Structure 1
Amino acid sequence: MNKYFYLSVFLLVCQLSIAQQIKYTTKNNDWDADSLGNHRVVLTLQKANTHLAKAIINWRRNDHHPETKQLFIVDSASGKRVMNVSVTGINRESCVLYFEPDAGNKKYFVYYLPYKVDRKSNYPNVKYMKAQPTAADNWLTTIPNSSDIEGATVESIESVNAMNSFYPMEVIATETEVNNLISQNSGRTYLVFPEDRQFVIKMKHDLPQRWITTGVRNVFNGEAKRGENYTYQLGIYPTAKDLNGVKIIFSDLKNKSGQVISSKVMSCINNGGTDYRGNSFTKEVDIAKGDVQAMWCLVNIPATAVAGTYEGTVTISPKNAENTKIGIRIKVEKATAVKGGINEPQRETRLAWLNSTLAQQNDVIKPYIPLVVKNNTIALLGRKVILDKTGFPKSIQTYFTPEMTSFSSIAKEVIAAPIKLVAENNVGAEKWQSKGVKFTETRAGTVKWDAVNTAANLQMDVSGTIEFDGFASYMVKVTALHDVDLKDIRMEIPFNKEASKYMMGLNLKGEKRPDSYEWKWDVPHKNQDGAWIGDVNAGLQYSLRDENYVRPLNTNFYLQKPLLLPTSWGNDNKGGIRINEKDNHVLVSNYSGARTMKKGDVLYYNFTLLITPFHPINTDFQWATRFYHKYSALDSIKQTGATVVNIHHGTPINPYINYPFIRWRQMKSYIDSAHQLGLKVKIYNTVRELSNSAYETFPMRSLGHEIYSPGKGGGYSWLQEHVADDYIAAWYVPEYKDAALINSGMSRWHNYYVEGMNWLVQNVGIDGIYLDDVAFDRITMKRIKRVLTKDGHPGIIDLHSANQYNKSDGFNNSGNLYLEHFPYLNRLWFGEYFDYEKNSPDFFLTEVSGIPFGLMGEMLQGGGNPWRGMIYGMTNRMPWSDNADPRPIWKVWDDFGMQGTKMIGYWVEKNPVKTNNPEVLATIYKKERSALVSIASWAKDDTTIKLQINWKALGIDPAKATITAPAVNNFQQSASFKDGDEIKVEKGKGWLLVLKEEK
C-alpha cells in the first residue's frame, strides 16, 4: 500500500511541477568531476536540524535510464557523502528522494551523473556508476511513518563549468509538454522551430524545454551585420510520420524601400554544397518521426546592403508531406562585419568555410615547373612520360643523379616496356585496336587525355591525368561488346630491373625487392591496394582502385572503415598481384581472375601512379633547419641552436586538437616574439579527429555522417553526455579536458581546414604545420601548401607517422600510405614504433629517410640510432630524448661547415669512400678538399674495418690528408687514423670522420 501511495504522490507532484523553472548556473571547476560527475543539484533546507529531508527535483535530464545510475548526496560544508538516501521515484523528467541530513547544515549537493574513468589515458573509457542502495535498513523503515519531513528546495542545477552545461538546449521537454504541443498543432505532419544561432540545436531525440516556452513560431527574427556570413537554424520535428527528402527553399529578402538580398546568397548546408574537390553536390535529408533535425541556413549578407529590416520566407519542402512556410525577418545593422565575421566563430560565421573553394585551382607549386606536352611526351620536373597509343605509359624516365642532389642529362627508364591491360579469353588475349591519344586539357598544372581501344569482345576507354608533381590517375572503363567468358583481366607493369631494387607495400616492409612474390586482397584486415617499387633515383608507386574507391580511416581506426574491395580488380577475392624477375625486367602482374561479362556490362580498372623522386634533396635546408618540438620559453629555445619551434596541441597556446582558433591571440603573441628572435613557429593542426571545443561541433553533427564517423560512442564523459551516440571517441587531453571525435574521412571539413590554415597564416603568422599522420588526400595537401606559402610565407610542413604496419592500422607502410603527400613536405619524422636497431639499411632508406623521394628525415622512437641516422643525414630533434640530444652532432655540422656540401650516400655506386665490410656502410658529405664521412654498422658483432678511399674523386692529395674523429658527446671519443688503418666499429654504432687536406 505504501509503495502505491508514494508513487501516486510522485506522479501528482510531477504534474504540478512541470511549469517550474529551475535556475541553471555554471561553476569554475569547483569540484573533481572525474569522481563526482559534471552536474549537481543544489538543495537548501529551511531548518538545519532535521533527521529526514525530502527533495523533488525536476531535472529534465537528457540521458536515458537514470534509474540505473548512482547519485551522490554530499554535505556542502563537510564534503561528506550522505549514505542514508532513498530514491522513491526517478525518471528522465524528475526525481523524488529522501535523505538524512547532517546536523547543522542546510545546503546539500546531489551529484547525479558520477562516473569512473576506467583507463586514465589519452583514450579514456568512462563508466557511469550503477545505482546501489547505501541506506541502512533501520533508517529506511522510519520514512513511511515520519511526521517530521523537511522539504528541500532546489536552489539551482550546476555544471562543473560552462563547457559541460546542459542549459538551455539540452534541458528536455516533458512527455506531457510534448504531447500538449503536438495536440495544439494537430493536423500538421511536422513542426518547425526557427532558432537563433546562439542557441545551437544539440539534441537529436528530444525537444528542448526552451521550445515549449517559445512555442511553435512561424517567423524567425535575427540581426546581422553588413557583409556577414550570417546563419540561423530551422529545427524540424516530425510528429506524424518519417519525413523523406526534406529541402529548404529560399525567397529573396526585401526591405520596405525595395532593396533586395537575393536568394542566390542563401543556402542550407544540410541540403548540399561544395565538396572538398570543388564539385557541387546535393543531399537527401530524411528525418525519423520523433527525432529533431537541425537545418543550418546561411545568408551571405552583401557588404553593400542598406541597413534596415529585410523580410522573406523559407519553405520547408519534404517529398512526402506538406510544405511549411516560415517568415524570415533579418535586421541588417549599419556596422560592417570584418571579413564576413570570421573572427567571431562562436557566431557560427565560419560555417560558410565548409563550401570554400580556396586554393582549389591546380596552379603549379614550387619547386615544380609547368608541364610541357610535345607529341605524346609529357615533361615535368626531373621526369618524362611518353604515352603509348593505348593511353598507357610506354616509357617513364627520370633524370635525377644517384646522389639525389641534382639532375642528370641521362635518363633512367622506370619501365622496360609499355604498361598494358591484358584481357584474356579462352583462345588468347583480346587484341586492342587503338585510335590513339587525344589530349583534352593541357595546362601548366594538369594534362588530360583520352584513348579508345576496341577488341573483338571488349571496348576499353582510357582517361588519364597527370599533374605537375608526378601523380597520374587513370580511369579505365572496360565494356563488354558481347557476352564473353574471360580467363583474366590484368594490368602488366614491366619494371626496369635497375629501377626496381627496393619495394614497399603489399605485406612487405621497405626492403630489397624479392625475385618473386605473391599477394592477395584482404580488405577487412589490410589497407593494401598497391606498392612502391623503385631505386633511389627512379621509382613508381601504383594503387588499384575502381569507381567506388573511398579513402579509409587510418591510425588505429582502419578496421572501422576499411577499403572497399574493387569490383574489378578484386573480383570476389579472385584477384591479386604476382611479381617475377625476368631477364632485364621485373614483371608486376595485377590480375583479377576469371569472370563472365554480359553484353553491356562495365568494369572500371582504375589505378593511380606516382613517379618518384619528386624533386632533388635540399640538403642545406636539412642542416640549417633544426626543430624544437615543445612549447617552451623562447629565449631558452634560441640558446639550443634550434631554428623552428613546433607547437603541439595540448599546450597553453594550442590546447584543442586540430582547432587552433580559440587561443589564437596568445599564439600570435608567442609567434611574434619568436620572429623577433629569428625563430620560426609551426603548429600542430591536422585532420583525423576534431576537438569537442570546436564551435561548429553540433552544426556538423547535423550533417549526419558527412563529417563525423559513425561509431559505438563511449569515451570521455563530455562526449557521452552531449554527443550521446553514433560517434567514435578519439584523442583526449586530461589537462584541458579536450575530447575529440573521429572525422569520417574525405568531407567538406577539409574546405574549412584549408580556410582555417589560410586564416592562421594571415592573422596569426604561423610558419607552417606539424602533421601527425594524415587523414586527407593529396587534393587537400596541395591546397594547404598553397595557402601556407602564400605571400612569401615559408609554409614548412613536416610529417610525423607512427608505424602503420600493425593490425589496427591495416598493415600499411607509413611511407607507402602517405607517399601522395611527400611532394609537399619539407621533412619526415618517422617515427613512433619504428625499430631502429633491428631493421635493415634498406628499411631505413625506403621507409624512414625519405631520400628516394627527394626528402630527408629525423628519428623518433627512443631517440633513434645516431650512428645509423647520420648516414642518411638524420638526427633526433630537441628536446625529444635526453639520451639522444642532437646538439653534439649539430656542433659537428657547424664545425665542419655542412652548408654547401654534396651528400654521396652508400647507395651511390661511385661513392669515393667505402668500407671493406658490406655490413658497415659509409656516406660522405663532400666539399672542397675535405669530406665528413659517416660510418654505421649493421654487423652482428663488434668488428674492424678499413676505409677504401678514392682520394682523386674526393679532390684530396693523400699525402697531405688527415683522418680524424672529433670528440662528440655520447657518440665518439676523439681519435686519428692513417689511410689503411684498421678501425674498430662497435656493434650498432659507427664513426664520424673528417678527411681533410692540410695546407
Structure 2
Amino acid sequence: MKTALPLSLICLLLCTVIHAQELKYVVGQNQWTGDSLGNHRAVVQVSQASEVAKVTIDWRRRDKHTDSEIIVVDAQANKRILNVKTENISRESGDVFFEPLSGAGQYYIYYLPYKVSGRANYPTTTYLTKTETASPAWKNLSAKPVPAKVLYMESINELNSFYPMEVIAKAPEVKRLVADNASKNYLVFPEDRMHPIKMTDDLPQRWVSNGAISGFKSEVSPGENFSFQLGIYPVKTDLKNIRIRFTDLKNGKNTLPASAFSCLNTDGTGWDGKKLTNKVNVAKGKVQALWCLTDIPGNIPAGTYTGTIFVTADGAAETPVALTFTVNANKLADKGISEPQKQTRLAWLNSTLAQENQVISPYIPLQREGNSIALLGRKFNVSPNGLPENIQTYFTPEMTGVSKTAKNIIQSPVKFQVVNASGTPEKLVAKGLKYTTQTPGTIGWTATSSSPNVSMDVKAHIEFDGFVAYEIKVTALKDIGLADIFMDIPMNKDAARYMMGLNLKGGKRPAAFDWKWEVATKNQDGAWIGDVNAGLNFSLRDEQYVRPLNTNFYLQKPLLLPASWGNANKGGIKISEEGDQVLIKNYSGDRKMKKGESLYYNFTLLITPFHALDTDFQWKTRFFHKYDNPDSIKTKGATVVNIHHATPINPFVNYPFIEHKAMKEYIDKAHQDGLQVKIYNTIRELSNSAYELFPLRSLGHEIFSPGKGNGYAWLQEHVGEDYIAAWYVPGLKDAALVNSGMSRWHNYYVEGMNWLTQKVGIDGIYLDDVAFDRTTMKRVKRVLTKDNHPGIIDLHSANQYNKNDGFNNSANLYMEHFPYLNRLWFGEYFDYEKNSPDFFMTEVSGIPFGLMGEMLQDGGNPWRGMVYGMTNRMPWGEGDDARPIWKVWDTFGIQGSKMIGYWVENNPVKTDAATVLATSYVKGKSALVSIASWAEGDTDFHLKIDWKALGIDPAKASIEAPEVKNFQNKTSFSDGQSIPVAKGKGWLLIISEKP
C-alpha cells in the first residue's frame, strides 16, 4: 500500500524541481548573423555519438511564434543539420530531435529565425515557419534518441537578452502561486530599478521563484533620484483606479518624508507645467508596472529607514508593502544623473525647467498702451470684444531691419458673427474687456459679448514672439437654430501676395479659393497668407485639439475635426478679393444649439515676420554635415559640424546619452579647433536603446503612439504589440518607436538638452522634423542659450505635401517653431527645378519669416539658391561642395553687405526678363549680384542697373563674373550687353567701380 506524501513535502519537492530546472542565460557577442538565424539559441551538449539526439528545451518564451522554424547547427562543423524533427512545441518548452553529425559535442538550436524585407530603414520582419527538412528514413529512427542537455540559453547580444524579466513563468507555476495567495484579489511584486518590468501578458519566472514577497529593500544615496517598481497582477477581477499611498520612512528621530515619494504612472507634471493625474486600470491576468520615484534629500543622515506603501483600487482591499531604505554616506552631487541605467532620469519626466515664459533674444518685452500691444517689429490692437482690431508690421521690404512705417496686415477688425436660422446676425454687444496677465513675455485678456440668444466669451493672450491664442466660447442662452457661425479675417491685399496651406502648395495667392475640412486624410486646419515683410498664419481648433503625428505617420493619428469649425464637415474656408482687402471667411454652417450648450471656436495666429534677417550669421556660419575629424573639417572652411545619429559619438536615434563621454571628447577637440558642434536630437521617435524605454511603455500611450506593431525583430520580440515601428539603422540595428505627440517626454527632452549643453558642451541641435509644439521649443532654446551658450538650432524637413503626411506644407506645419530657429534646411523631396520662385520664397527660403536656409535634394540648384542667400549643405552628396561659392563671398566681402532681393521694388539691379530674377548684396560702392533663370529654356537678358543707388559711376564700372567651379566660367560684361543664361542656371556678378 502506497503512503501519501504530506502536502508540505510535495511543495518542497516541486520547488526543488523548479529551481533545478532553471537554465543558465548567457549574453553573446554577436557571434552569428541575427538576420538569418534569429537572435536566440539554445546551446546543447550531446554526450555520445548517435543517429538521433533528443533535447527538451525549457525556453519559457514570451513570443507567440511557436510555429517558427527550428534551425539546428553543428557547432564543430558549423553546418546546418537538416534531419530535424520537433514535438510538443509550446511557449513553455519543446522537444527537438536532430542528427548529431559530429557525434558527441555542442550543437546550436535557433528558434526564432526570420527574414527582413522592405525598405532598409523601415523593414518588415517575417518569422520563418517550420519546414520539413528531415528524410523519411531518418525520421523513423527518432524513436530511439540519446538524450542531449541544454548547457545554456544564449542571446546574440545584451540588448536582445530575455533574461530575467522576459523569461516567463509556466502556467502550473502561476496557478500554484495564485493558489498560495487565494485570499487576495491581486498580487503586488516589488521589483528593483535594474530589472524593468517588460511583459504585460506573462509573469516572469523570477517572480514565481521569489514568491509574492511583502516588502522591498534597497540601498540609496543622499541626494539621489531613486526609483523602484511595483508589479500589479489582478488574479480575480479587473482593477480600476489603482492608487498608491506613501508613508514616512523612519529611522529613530530621522524621517524620509512621504512627500519625497511619487508614482510616475498616477501623478506628475505635464509638458505644459500643469499638474497631471492619470487613472490606472489593469485587466485580470495582465501585469502593470507602477514606477515609484523618490527624491532622497541630500542632507538625510545615514541609517536604515522603514515605512510602508499601501496599494489599493476601487472596491479592492489595501495591500501594504514594507519599504526599507538603507541610506549610505555617499552623497550624490548630480542626483545620480550620470548613471541613467539606474533610471535616475525618470524624474526628468516631471520637470518644469525653463517653463516660465521669459523673453528670448532677439525678442523684446511686450509693451501695452491702452489696447495697443507692441512687440518686436509688430503691433497688435485689441477690439472691445477681445478680437484683433488691427495688426501691423514695421519690417523693411528688404527684411534687414525695422522702420517707422507701418504696414497693415488686416484691413479692418476681425469679425466673429453668429447668424440665426432666419439669416439675421445676432447683435453681440461687447462689454467687459479686461487684461488678466501682463508680463514681459505674455499679455492676456478676456472679454464678453452677448445678445438675448447667445453669449461669446473670449479668452486670449499674445506672446513676445508674435504668437496669439484665442479661446472663443459660444453659449446658447436659449434653444436656437443657427444658419452659421463664422469669422472673417479681412487682410490687407498688399500683405497677402503669397499663400500656402489648405491644400495649396506655396506660391501666389489665388484670387478666390474654397476649402472644406477633410481631417481623415489632410493635415490641414489653417494657412499662411502674407508678403515678405507682413503676414498671418492662422489655425482653427477647438478645446479637444490634439497635435497629430507627422512625417509619414499622419494617417495613423490624424487631426480631430473641431466640433465647432468642422461641424460634421459642414464648415470650411472661402477666400475672396474685395477691393483693397482679401477676405478670409472661416464658416461652420447651420446647426442647432440647446440652451446652455457651448461650442469652442478656438484659433491661433502667428504674426510674421518674426524678426529681421540675420544675413551676417548666414555668411559666417558654414555647416559641415558629416561626422569627421575636426582638423579635417576645419581645413574645408566650415565653422559648424552637425553630428547625425548613427555615428560613433551619437549612435542611437534621439537618445544622445549613451556615448556622451566620446561626444564630449570630440566636442572639446572641435572647440580647440575653433569649431562648433551641433547634434541630431529631436522628438518624433525614440531608440530601443533608451534606458527608460520600458518605464515609458508602462505609461500606456502617453509617450508612445498606439499602432499595429511589427517592424524590426527586436521590437516584435521585446515590445510585442501596440506600437508604431519607426526609423531603423541596419548596421547598428537601432530600432525606434514613434512618439505619441505632446507628453511628459518633452520635459525629459528639455532636461536632456540642458544636460548636454552644460555637461557635454553641445553648441546646438539639428532637428530632423519635430513632433513637439512651440512651448517645448521655447524651453529648449532657453536651456541651449543659457550661460551664453550659442544654442544654434536648425530644422530639416522633408517635403510633407504628400499623401502619407496629409498634404501639409512643411513651412506651415513648423511655423510655430520658426521664431527660435537659426536656419532652415528644407530639404528632402523638395523640387528645386520645377517649382516657381514663389514656391522657393514661401516653402523653402524662410525669408518671409526672418530666416534663411539651405538646400538638400540632389544638391539643390546653386544659381536659384543664391537668389535667396542659400547654398547646399556639404558634404551631403557627390558634388555638393559649397566652397567655391564661399570663396566668392569672401573675395567680395559679403560679410556686412545689405541683401536686397528681387522682391524689393527698389532693388538697384534688375533684369528686363520676367523669368530671370536678380538679388543684390550691396556693400559700399560694389554689389554681388545673384541671377537665376526660371525660363522654360535657354534665354538672355539685360541688366537694369540703378547706378545712383549703387553710388557707382557707370563710366568707371566693371561687371565681372568670377570663376566659380561647377557654377560659371570667368568672364566680363558691359553695361547694356545681352547676357545669355542657360535653362535653370544663372550668374554671380560683381559690379564695382574700377580704381
Are 1:922 and 2:918 counterparts?
Answer: yes
Corresponding residue number in structure 1 for 2:889 = 893
* Residue 717 (structure 1) aligned with residue 680 (structure 2): no
SS in 2 for 1:395: strand
Is 1:41 paired with 2:42?
yes
Partner Cα distance (1:543, 1:754) in 2? 26
Q: In structure 2, the residue corresponding to 1:755 is in which secondary structure?
A: helix
Work out the CA distance in 2 between the residues paired with 1:885 and 1:80.
Answer: 50
Q: CA deviation at 1:625?
A: 0.3
Q: Deviations over 1:807-831 (max 9, x none)?
A: 1000000000000000000000001
Q: Please give the secondary structure, in 1, of the residue aligned with 2:884.
A: helix
In structure 1, the partner of 2:533 is 537
Specify the code of the residue in structure 1 equivalent to 2:516: K
Aligned length: 982
Letter in 2 for 1:554: N
Structure 2 equivalent of residue 775 of structure 1: 771
Following TM superposition, the consecutive aligned residue runs of length 4 or more in structure 1 with deviations greater than 2 angstroms are 12-19, 881-884
Kindly report which structure 2 residues correspond to 1:445-464, keeping only aligned pairs within 5 A, or say none: 445-464=441-460
Cα distance in 2 between the residues matched to 1:431 and 1:950: 56
Task: Give the one of 233, 248, 269 matched to 1:252.
Answer: 248
Residue number among 744, 749, 759 corresponding to 2:745 in the alignment: 749
Aligned in 2, Cα 1:91/1:18: closer, same or farther, shift over 3 Å? farther
Q: Is residue 396 of structure 2 the alignment partner of residue 401 of structure 1?
A: yes
Correspondences of 1:415-430 after superposition (within 5 Å): 415-425=410-420, 426-430=422-426
Separation of aligned partners in 2, 1:458 and 1:955: 64
Equivalent position of 2:22 in the other structure = 21
Aligned to 1:443: 439
Of the three residues 407, 416, 429, the one matched with 1:412 is 407
Q: CA deviation at 1:457?
A: 1.1
Cross-structure match for 2:285: 290
Cα distance per residue 1:559-604 (max 9 Å; x no partner):
0000000000000000000000110000000000011111111000
The match for 2:786 among 785, 790, 802 is: 790
- Alignment correspondent of 2:142: 143
1:140 to partner: Cα distance: 1.1
1:484-563 equivalence runs, <5 A? 484-563=480-559
Q: Give the deviation of 1:468 after TM superposition.
A: 0.2
2:811 paired with 1:812:
no
Which residue among 257, 271, 276 is the counterpart of 1:276? 271
C-alpha displacement of 1:18: 7.4
Match of 1:848 in 2: 844
Q: 1:625: which partner in 2? A: 621
Contact 1:642 1:878 in 2 (8 A): no
SS in structure 2 at match of 1:437? strand
- Cα distance 1:229–1:16, how it changes in 2: closer, same or farther (>3 A)? closer
Unaligned 5+ runs, structure 2: 1-12
Taking the TM superposition and a 5 Å limit, the aligned residue runs for 1:262-661 are: 262-425=257-420, 426-661=422-657
Give CA deviations for 1:509-560 in whole Å, capped at 9, x if unaligned: 1110000000000000000000000000000000000000000000000000
- CA–CA distance in structure 2, aligned partners of residues 457 and 538 of structure 1: 38
Q: State the distance in 2 between where 1:692 and 1:904 align.
A: 48
What is the distance in 2 between the residues matched to 1:250 and 1:359?
Answer: 29
Aligned to 2:56: 56
Note if contact 1:18-1:58 (Cα within 8 Å) is conserved in structure 2. no
The alignment partner of 1:799 has SS state of strand
Q: Distance in 2 between matches of 1:977 and 1:457?
A: 74
Contact 1:951 / 1:958 at 8 angstroms: preserved in 2?
yes
Q: Which amino acid aligns with 1:987?
A: K
Rounded to whole Å, the distance in 2 between the matches of 1:687 and 1:280 is 22
Instruction: Confirm or deny: 8 A CA contact 1:53 1:101 kept in the other structure.
Output: yes
Which residue, out of 665, 672, 687, partners 2:668? 672
Cα-to-partner distance string for 1:280-313 (whole Å, 9 max, x where unaligned): 0111000011111110000100001001111111
Measured in 2, the distance between the counterparts of 1:13 and 1:84 equals 35
Partner Cα separation in structure 2 for residue 63 and residue 427 of structure 1: 63
Q: Secondary structure at the match of 1:567?
A: coil
Q: Find the counterpart in structure 1 of residue 6 from structure 2.
A: none
Encode CA deviations 1:723-780: one digit per residue, 9 max, x unaligned. 0111111101112111000111100000000000000000000000000001000000
CA distance in 2, matches of 1:61, 1:487: 62
Paired with 2:679 and 2:30, the residues of 1 have a C-alpha distance of: 28
Q: How many Å separate the matches in 1 of 2:328 and 2:19?
A: 39
Q: Who is 1:8 aligned against?
A: none
| Residues 852 and 869, structure 2, Cα contact 8 Å, conserved in 1 | yes
Query: What residue identity is the alignment partner of 2:51?
Result: H
> Per the alignment, in what secondary structure is the counterpart of residue 335 of structure 2?
helix
What is the distance in 1 between the residues matched to 2:87 and 2:436?
76
Change (3 A) 1:13 1:252: closer
The structural deviation recorded for 1:884 is: 3.1
Cα-to-partner distance string for 1:469-524 (whole Å, 9 max, x where unaligned) = 00000000000111111111001000000000000100111110000000000000
Q: Which amino acid aligns with 1:715?
A: G
Alignment of 1:62-73 (within 5 A): 62-66=62-66, 68-73=67-72
Question: C-alpha displacement at 1:320, in angstroms?
Answer: 2.3
The answer to whether 1:214 aligns with 2:210 is yes
Q: Is the 1:393–1:419 Cα contact (8 Å) retained in structure 2?
A: yes
Quote the Cα distance in structure 1 between the aligned partners of 2:92 and 2:14: 12
Show the counterpart of 1:948.
944
Q: Residue type of the partner of 1:287?
A: V
Partner residue in 2 for 1:101: 100
Give CA-to-partner distance per residue, 1:7-28, whole Å, 9 cap, x none.
xxxxx99996675111100111
Distance 1:530 1:938 in 2: 30
Deviation for aligned residue 1:881: 2.5
**Contact 1:65 1:91 (C-alpha < 8 Å) held by counterparts:** no
Amino acid in structure 2 at the alignment position of 1:43: V
* Cα offsets for 1:146-173 (capped at 9, x unmatched): 3xx3210110000000110001111000
User: Which residue is equivalent to 1:225?
Assistant: 221
Q: Distance in 2 between matches of 1:125 and 1:899?
A: 50
Matching residue's letter, 1:79? N
RMSD between aligned residues: 1.2
**Alpha carbons 1:799, 1:828 under 8 Å: kept:** yes
TM-score, with length taken from structure 1 = 0.97
Map Cα deviations across residues 222-279 of structure 1 (whole Å, 9 max, x no partner): 1110000000000010000100000111111111x22111111110000020000000
Q: For the residues of structure 1 that align with 2:975 and 2:400, how far apart are their CA atoms?
A: 28
Paired position in structure 1 for 2:954: 958
Q: 1:246 to 1:789 in 2, by over 3 A?
A: same
TM-score computed with the length of structure 2 as normaliser: 0.98
**Distance of 1:19 and 1:447 partners within structure 2:** 70
Write the distance in 2 (CA, Å) between the matches of 1:132 and 1:318. Answer: 49
Question: Which whole-Å CA distance do the structure 2 matches of 1:15 and 1:198 have between them?
Answer: 27
* 1:607 CA drift (Å): 0.2
Structure 1 residue ranges without an equivalent (≥5): 1-11
The aligned amino acid for 2:280 is: V
1:173 aligned counterpart, secondary structure? coil
**Percentage of matched positions with identical amino acids:** 63
Q: Shift of residue 427 of structure 1?
A: 4.2
- For the 8 Å contact 1:75–1:105, the answer to whether it is kept is no
SS of the residue aligned with 2:937?
coil
CA contact (8 A) 2:792 2:822 kept: yes
| Per-residue deviation, residues 114-154 of structure 1 (Å, max 9, x unmatched) | 1111236011111110012211111111223x3xx321011
**In structure 1, distance between residues paired with 2:14 and 2:134:** 24
How many angstroms apart in 2 are the aligned matches of 1:755 and 1:608? Answer: 28
- 1:234–1:203 CA distance, 2 compared to 1 (3 A): same
Equivalents in 1 of 2:985, 2:529: separation in Å?
Answer: 29
Q: Distance in 1 between matches of 2:686 and 2:880?
A: 33
Among residues 971, 982, 986, which one is paired with 1:986 in the alignment?
982
User: What is the rounded CA distance, in whole Å, between the counterparts of 1:699 and 1:827 in structure 2?
Assistant: 35
Asked if structure 1 preserves the Cα contact closer than 8 Å seen for 2:423 and 2:483, the reply is no
